[in-house]
Every structure is written in C-alpha cells, then in structure tokens.
Amino acid sequence: MKYSIILISETSISLARTLKTELSEINEGATVTIYHKGELNGCTNITSVTDATKELFTQSDALIFIGAMGICVRSIAPCINDKHEDPAVVCVDSTGKFVVSVLSGHIGGANKLATTIATITGGEAVVTTQSDNTGLWALDTIAQEYGWTIAMAGGKRLAAQRMNNVITLFVNKHKTALVLETEDDGTRYMEQTKPEHVKVFHSYNDYSLYTRREMSKPNANGNPFELLIIVSPKKYSSSDIPCLQYYPKCLHLGVGCQLMAPVEIAPQLISEIGAAGYASESIATIGSIELKKDEPLIAELCRLMPHAELKIYTAEELNKVKIPNPSDKVFEVTGCYGVAESSAKCPNKHSVLVIEKQKGSMNVNGKISHYTYALACDEGIQRQGHIEIVGAGPGAPDLVSVRGRKFLEEADLILYAGSLVPRELTHCAKPGATVRSSANMNLEEQFELMKRFYDKGCLVVRLHTGDPCIYGAIQEQMNFFDQYGMDYHITPGISSFLAAAAELRSQFTIPEKVQSIILTRGEGRTPMPDKEKLHLLAQSQSTMCIFLSAGIAQQVQDELLAGGYPPETPVACCYKLTWKDQKIFRGKLCDLAAIMKKNKLNLTTMIVVGEAIDNRQGLSKLYDKEFSHKFRK
C-alpha cells in the first residue's frame, strides 16, 4: 500500500508526520511519503503541487491532501479517469478537523481511509456516498471485502454500467430479493444488516416458488421484485429482472489427465462443471498430482480461471485423503488411488465432494485424450445445521462477546448451563427461539435435543460459563459432534479469572516477581493428576486462580500452606463475579477456610491466591523511555 501525503502549508507538518506514523503502524508494510513544496525535514521536496499530483496519481494507492479542498480538486481534475482505476483521494483541512473523501470512495477505499484518518485526528469524516450514509451495503466492494468473485456480462464498460444500474435500484430502495445459498461471514453480515426493502431466501428454489406464487395472484403485476442479488457457488443465468451474483470461492477442482492432454479440453471441462450447475467463478483451487504439474491442460485451466490458485500435491499427500472411488489402476500409474477426487478434497480435509470423479474424453486431430475431474465444496459453507459453543463470560450479560451476542440473537435453540449462567444472558433471543437449561439434563439428553434442531438446519447455541475451554465439559460434546459429522465452532468468552483481576483491580503478573498465572482446582470428587496436586503447584508461589473448590476450602488452605505459600499471602474469595449479587472477601491465606465458612460461600466462588492481589509495586520495561522496541525507537 502506497500513501502519498501532499502537504500544502508547512504549518501542518506535525499533522502530516502524525498521519505518516499512524498509517504506517495500521498498515504494516505500507509506504507513506510526505511531499511538500519547499525544504522541510522528513519531506520529499516538489517544485509544483500540480505536477507532483499528475505523477503520483498513477503511482499511489491513496493521495492525502492536507490543505484547502480547492487546491485538491484543481490538482486531481486533469488526472481523473475511471473509478475502477483511480486512487483514493482524501482531503484533510490544515487542523485535521474535517477529513473529506474526494474520489474513489468505495472501490478505491477513500471512504474507509477518511474514516480512519478522522479517528487519528479526532476530526469528522465527510462521506457523501449514499449507501454509506444510509447504512446500505456497498454492492461494488462487498465481494472484495469477503473474498467473493463477481461476474457481469458484457465488456468492462458495459459491466460497469450494469453494476451502476443495480446500485441505483438498491440505494433507491426498490424491492430486492436476496438469495443466500451459502453461509459465511459475508452472508451472515448481509442477513444481520438486511434493509427493509430486502427479502431473504435461503435457496434459489424458494425464491422461484415465492415469485411464481405471488405472480399467480389476481391483479399481480409481474415479478414482485425489481432486483435480484444471489450469493452462491451455483450458476443461475436467466432472470427477468436485473440480477447481481456473487460467487464465494468455496469450490476445489481436482484434475487428472493423460500425458500431454490437449488444451482444448479445458473449456469443455469448465462447461461440464457449468452444466452440473456450478460456477467456475467459485473455484478457489485447481489441484493435481506432482506428476502432472507441467501438463498444458493444467496451465490452460489456470489461464481460464485466474482467480483460482494452483495446488500441486505429492502422491503421499493425496493418499491421506479418503475418497469414494479409489482405483488400483490409477495407483499403478501415479502412486495414489485417485488424482481427481483426492486433489479436490486435499485443500480442506472436511470438504464435501459435490461432483464425484467424472471421466471425459476429447478427439483432437484424430487422437482421443482422456481426463478426469472432481469438485469439492468447503464444509460448513453450504447451508445446514450449525452448533456454536459460546463462552458466556463471567455472568454479566454485557460481558458476553459481540460475536457471542450475535449468535444468541440468531439462534433457533439456546441450551445454556443453567446452574452457572444467568438466564438474563438469553433475553436477547429472537421471537420463536427455544431456550432451555441443561442443569437437569445428562449428556445424552443434551445431545438429543441439539441434534433434533441441527437436523432441521437450525442454528444451535450451546452456552457455557466463562470460556468453554476452561472446565467447560465440551470435549465429550465435541466427541458426539465429530461422530455424527456435525458442523460446529467455538466462540471464546471472558473467563472468571479475568473478571477476578478486573474486580480486584489487580494485575496478576508483577515484573520480576510473579510472571505466571496458574488456573487449577482442588481435588474433590474428581481426582487430580499426581503432578498437579495443589501442594506441588504451590511451590512456584505464582498467582493461583482456583476453580470449583469452595466446598473444600480447608483442604485447599492446607495444601497451599504445605506447598510453600506464606500464611500472610493475600487471598480473595470472589463469589458470583460480575453477577448482580457479586461479593468479594479479602484476607490472608491462613484464614481462607474461615472466610469461606463465615460468609457461606458456595460453588460459584473463585479463590485467588498470591502477592499480585492489590500489588502496586514494580515497573515494567514496556513503557520505560530507555527501552526501545519495534514501535518505539
């Protein structure tokens, strides 16, 4: 990324230097150069703003003028060519109060850059693009943002005109049908931020059925929609209304062929994929075996699909992939049991073959050449049921992560750990969602409920206290999910030990004194490994956060003292951290059991032990003026 800052008045040199420093840090590897008409330390001298602009316009990704808007406009006017090629141009007034996106707001990124600069200067970004100001999607850049490809018929200029027509319909809020046949960050974003004039369908077939039903009604006046937007790896070519299709790069093509197979096979192979209903624009990788890496056919496929990455695998790598159609004959020639299917699945071992091995041939100049291909799709991108294991945080509803909150708002089923998670966390559930506590369920009952919703294609949230990876009992659940091939993911949460540090106003690591934090539990009904007994861990005298041990406080106290903690070591008994009825009791380790008993603290209590509690001594090197590092020389 190359930024060119054109400084009009030397009085704003401090602002220019700040922008250079911050933009370099925000965009690692970026080149930021300040240009000024005159000799100024840290600036490249130019003889004319107009001439410098003309030269930098084609060499820069972004031009940042610091000065009057009139100078900026007059300087760039002769250079403006095409919004798909022009750089981002931003104009900042000499005080940094206003940051104006001047040119290439969407495609060039000037709108985003203006917003970024405004956060640096504490100013106001001035963006005039309608879709940005009305909170609508930027249809011309959303594909780039989420790694999709886009194809519009016609040459470059005609395609641009068609895109502009689509954008005009959309920003003017004409009725729009949105078909989302895949599920990824982009489609989730579109569904969550859907404007009122957009109706969502999860398959093209659902859209077709709906429009046919509406058009069959008395007094119907054609298609109820004026614009169709599709996100799918499948190809839909015919539409009676303007249509914009995005292609998520989720398909993987595996290819095998005879020696020196002719390049004429390539368009035929792509055509066959299209005939099967899949778009070549969604192909992310083209794969084959090392034996075929120099084949002209492979090179031609890469030329025809420049958006796809070439992946070459060894026979050993391909043999690790389980395929439905292994061949002993292929093994004799190549050393693996299937080139096409294996190299299609190799980029993502959990991918699903949507086209199993196909055999084809072509007669070129009287010689018949044979080839095979297969097509795989990334697991989880095709719409299906999904389970999200979400960390609820320590208890306060506003301490669940932003991502976790979104899953809770979208879930069809929320199964929460009722004995440990406040029900208030589920109050954001959408109308019609099922909310159940798992407190009275065994593992099999929990799984049966989740699978019932999963099999319907629903979103299931399994809500665990704190962070699921710490005493979350998720391993046995994931074992079930793996056995049944179910799609799942984990959203981390804020653990209660972090909440303890916050509520105690303590840093659990002290420079040169305590640099380790131990998360553990006492030995109750569940045995502890011999090497992890409390008295052994206590030898380090690290900050120790002890979970699930309120009922054995005397045992914990005895073991910690036996392990070497001094009796005067600070302790904190933290009951229901961040809940409405939170209580914290401080004291000494020698009084731990008495504190717990006196205050009747139960299983939702965390015990924190160590000198770090309430400590205010010791300075780190991080902000020492004598200590230099990558970001501060």
What is the SS3 assignment for 399-411?
Answer: HCCHHHHHHHHHC
CATH number (3.40.50.1390, 3.30.420.180, 3.40.50.300, 3.90.550.10) of 249-377 reads: 3.30.420.180
Query: Do 439 and 419 touch, CB atoms closer than 8 A?
Result: yes
pLDDT at 234 over 90: yes
Q: How far is the C-alpha of 598 from the C-alpha of 554, rounded, in Å?
A: 13
pLDDT at site 28: 85
- Name which of 255-269, 467-481, 512-526, 612-626 the model is least confident about: 612-626
What is the C-alpha separation between 158 and 354, in angstroms, rounded?
A: 33
- Please give the helix or strand (H or E) that residue 131 lies within, else none: helix 130-133
What lies within 8 Å, CB to CB, of 183 at 6+ separation is 380, 381, 382, 383, 384, 386
Quote the CA–CA distance of 399 and 545 in Å, as a whole number: 20
Phi-psi region of 380 (alpha: psi -120 to 50; beta: other; left: phi over 0): left
What pLDDT does residue 339 have?
95
| pLDDT tens, position by position, 544-599 | 999 999 999 999 999 999 999 999 999 999 999 999 999 999 999 999 999 999 99
Q: Which residues pair with 201 in a beta bridge?
A: 179
Contact present, 34 and 16 (Cβ < 8 Å) = yes
The confidence band for 286, taking pLDDT boundaries of 50, 70 and 90, is very high
Residue 107 binned pLDDT confidence (cut-offs 50, 70, 90): confident
Domain limits of the chain?
A: 2-128, 142-247, 249-377, 386-494, 497-609
Strands (DSSP E) along 261-351, which ranges? 283-289, 309-313
- The span from the CA of 366 to the CA of 370, in Å, is 13
What kind of architecture, by CATH, is found in domain 386-494? 3-Layer(aba) Sandwich (3.40)
Which pLDDT score, from 0 to 100, does residue 556 have? 96
Region 477-489: mean pLDDT is 90
- CA atoms lying within 13 Å on the CB side of residue 378: 16
Q: State both tokens at 274.
A: 């299209």
Determine the pLDDT at residue 261.
92
pLDDT of residue 633: 60
CA angle 416, 417, 419 (to 5 degrees): 135
Angle at 496 between CA 493 and CA 500, to 5 degrees: 135
pLDDT at position 622: 60
Under the banding of pLDDT at 50, 70 and 90, the label for residue 155 is low
Class at the top of the CATH hierarchy for domain 2-128? alpha beta
Query: Higher pLDDT residue, 404 or 237?
Result: 404
What is the enclosing helix (H) or strand (E) of 23? Answer: helix 13-26
Angstrom distances, CA of residue 382 to CA of 162, 173, 236, 257, 457: 28, 29, 16, 29, 11
Map 339-386 to HEC letters. HHHHHHHCCCCCCEEEEEEEEEEEEECCEEEEEEEEEEECCCCECCCE
DSSP code string of 213-255 = HHHTSTT--S-S-SEEEEE-SB-----SS-EEEEEES-EEEEE
Report the helix count and the strand count for the chain, using DSSP H and E. 21, 27
- Residue 472 has a pLDDT of 83
Contact 408, 427 (CB under 8 A): no
Q: What is the pTM of this model?
A: 0.65
So what's the architecture of 497-609 in CATH?
Answer: 2-Layer Sandwich (3.30)
Name which of 196, 195, 208, 200 is nearest 180 in CA terms.
200
Q: Which residues pair with 32 in a beta bridge?
A: 3
Is the model's pLDDT at 463 over the cut of 80? yes
Q: Out of 88-102, 172-186, 616-630, which region has the weakest mean confidence (pLDDT)?
A: 616-630
Residue 623: predicted pLDDT:
60
Tokens of 588: 């000494």
The answer on pLDDT for 153 being more than 60 is no
106 band by pLDDT with thresholds 50, 70 and 90? confident
Residue 620 confidence (pLDDT): 62
Contact 413, 460 (CB under 8 A): yes
Residue 621: predicted pLDDT: 61
Contacts for 261 with CB less than 8 Å, ≥ 6 apart: 295, 296, 297, 369, 370, 371
Neighbouring residues of 402: CB distance < 8 A, sequence distance ≥ 6? none
311-336 residue pLDDT tens: 999 999 999 999 999 999 999 999 99
Residues contacting 178, CB < 8 A, separation 6+: 190, 194, 198, 199, 200, 201, 229, 230, 231
- DSSP, collapsed to helix, strand or coil, labels residue 504 as coil
Per DSSP bridges, beta strands 251-257 and 283-289 are parallel
174-198 residue pLDDT tens:
999 999 999 889 998 998 899 999 9
Q: CA-CA distance, 250 to 283, in Å (whole number)? A: 6
Residues facing residue 244 across a β-bridge? 229
Average pLDDT score over the chain: 91
Radius of gyration of the chain (CA): 31
pLDDT exceeds 80 at position 171: yes
Q: Are 321 and 352 in contact (CB under 8 A)?
A: no
Quote the pLDDT of residue 325.
93
Is residue 148 within 8 Å of 245, Cβ to Cβ?
Answer: no
Average pLDDT over residues 595-607: 91
Q: 2-128 and 386-494: same fold? A: no
Q: Is the pLDDT of residue 84 over 90?
A: no
pLDDT band at 350 (very low <50, low <70, confident <90, very high): confident
CA distance 121 to 98: 9
What is residue 390's predicted lDDT score, i.e. its pLDDT? 96
Residues forming beta bridges with residue 393, ordered by sequence position: 466
Beta strand 543-547 with 459-464 is unpaired
User: Is pLDDT of 154 > 60?
Assistant: no
Q: Inform me whether the pLDDT recorded for 340 exceeds 90.
A: yes
pLDDT of residue 161: 81
Distance, in Å, from the CA atom of 560 to the CA atom of 550, rounded to the nearest integer, reads 14
Identify the pLDDT of residue 533: 93
How confident is the model over 253-259, as a mean pLDDT? 93
φ, ψ of residue 289 in degrees (nearest 5)? -85, 155
Average pLDDT over residues 99-127: 93
